[in-house]
Amino acid sequence: MVNGKGEPVLERSAVRNLERAGVSQAVARKITGYKTISVYQRYRIVNEADIRDALTRTEAAIAKQTERKMISLSEARRASG
């Protein structure tokens, strides 16, 4: 538990802040002291804004992938050799 206090509001805040900062779940569990994923997930609250943000980031990543120019294998071989 965070600071060994067991204050649920503080624990939720700590987990949420770590998640939003991009800290991996494994590292966040070490920091908070949660031994199991189920205890960690108890304090990982997901709201509508989190879902919207995830979908926006996913759409942006897909758009970036589709911007890449596709070339044929023969064109790639000519370009490299």
Can you give the pLDDT of all 81 residues of the chain as single tens digits?
Answer: 444 555 667 888 889 899 889 899 999 999 999 989 998 888 888 889 989 999 999 999 888 877 767 778 888 888 887
Residue written as tokens 């991009």? Answer: 22
What local confidence, expressed as pLDDT, does residue 70 receive? 72
Dig out the tokens for 27 from the structure: 């590292």
CA atoms within 13 A on the CB side of 48: 0
C-alpha closest to that of 56 among 66, 64, 67: 64
Q: Which residue range forms the structural domain that includes residue 60?
A: 2-80
Contacts of 37 (CB under 8 A, 6+ apart): 25, 29
Domain count across the chain: 1
